[in-house]
Amino acid sequence: MVNDFNLSQEFTKLKENANTLTEKNNEDATKGRIIRATRKKNITVLTRAFGRGIDFAVHEKEVKELGGLHVIQTFISEEESEAVQIEGRSGRQGTRGSSEILIEEDELKKIELEPTQTQGTPEEIEKIINSKRNMISERTYTEQIQEAEKCKTNHQVGKEILSNIRSGNNEEVRSAVSNLNKIEVIPASSGQTIKTVIGIDATASMERALKQVISNTNTCLERAYFVLKEKGITNGFEIQMVIYRNYNSEASKLIQCSPFSNNANDLISFLQTIEVDGGWKNEAIENLYNHVLNYETDVAQLIVIGDAAGNTNDEISLKRKNRG
């Protein structure tokens, strides 16, 4: 986000007295920009990582006389402690300083607030925000504890399954795995359909692995559909296979997808037509996400199979530009 703003027309107007500070800056650049940030008429745009533990010490007398360092936070902190730390970057070591929060209305949704709920004096608004933040924090903590207990239980079940495998207790293994794989059957009359997208990287780095991935996926689909058919589940779910490649492939090959289907043979037939193409270090997984979020509806889950990380924002800009 900071790098995007750095390239914007709005920032260009300020360039003479402004700079950016991100985790990508080397140590010398970081130190220099921290010092520069405290000087008169300077504007520094930085990431939230610098809202904690960084001492923006003001040494210029004129800056101190004008009121010291002023901090503007442009997002809502999910935790009150982070907001306090960011505010504390000004007024260091007994010197004067000030801070404010300047946000878009949509930011309030992060802590489940609407603009109409944040009316009043700054003190009253701060109290409302902190109250909501703390409530969400407590709820999140409770949910995390519950999830941890589930993980603990599942871990114990996993240990017992491994023990039974080593001992040759096949019936106990089958029973335990069957219990783990119990699913909620969706009545056909409900009209509800659970949609799953399986995304597969089909670039050159996957050349050796792709055939095995497709073979394993075919096997999984066949077995899964066999089990579902045995249980009388023939509707209520659909799967789509999506192949994604990088920007040095033809436009038509960046995204290839099958129709949503509850027929294993349809999906397997689609996979058998896929071949590797292109490849450009980090992969264009953003195109897969874009497809799921903007071109499909009501997708319940996305499974990604690949061998590389996604493109960074800078890589996306560069690679798309090179495509023309």
Closest CA to 307 of 230, 233, 213, 242: 213
196 and 136 in a single domain? The answer is no
Per residue in 105-122, pLDDT (tens digit) is: 888 888 888 888 888 888
Q: Return the DSSP state at 115.
A: G
13 and 96 in a single domain? The answer is yes
Domain count, the chain: 3
The domain boundary residue, chosen from 70, 103, 136: 103
Residue 111 lies in a domain: no
Per residue in 37-72, pLDDT (tens digit) is: 999 988 888 888 888 888 888 889 999 999 999 999
Residue 112 lies in a domain: no
Residue 240 lies in a domain: yes
Write out the two tokens for 312. Answer: 């960074």
Where are the alpha helices (H) located in the chain, listed in sequence order? 2-6, 9-12, 27-37, 61-65, 80-87, 122-167, 170-180, 207-230, 251-254, 264-271, 285-294, 313-323
Per residue in 148-173, pLDDT (tens digit) is: 998 899 899 999 999 999 999 999 99
97 three-class SS:
strand
Residue 78 lies in a domain: yes
Residue 109 lies in a domain: no
pLDDT band for position 142 (cuts 50, 70, 90)? very high
318 and 192 in a single domain? The answer is yes
The domain boundary residue, chosen from 155, 182, 209: 182
Distance (Å, whole) CA 80 – CA 83 = 5
Per residue in 280-321, pLDDT (tens digit) is: 889 999 999 999 999 998 898 899 999 888 999 888 988 887
Percent of the chain surpassing pLDDT 90: 30
305 and 240 in a single domain? The answer is yes
**Per-residue pLDDT for 256 more than 90?**
yes
Q: What is the CATH number of the domain that holds 70?
A: 3.40.50.300
pLDDT at 190: 62
The domain boundary residue, chosen from 182, 197, 221: 182
Residue 221 lies in a domain: yes
Range of the domain at 131: 120-182
Percent of the chain surpassing pLDDT 70: 93
Residue 86 lies in a domain: yes
190 and 290 in a single domain? The answer is yes
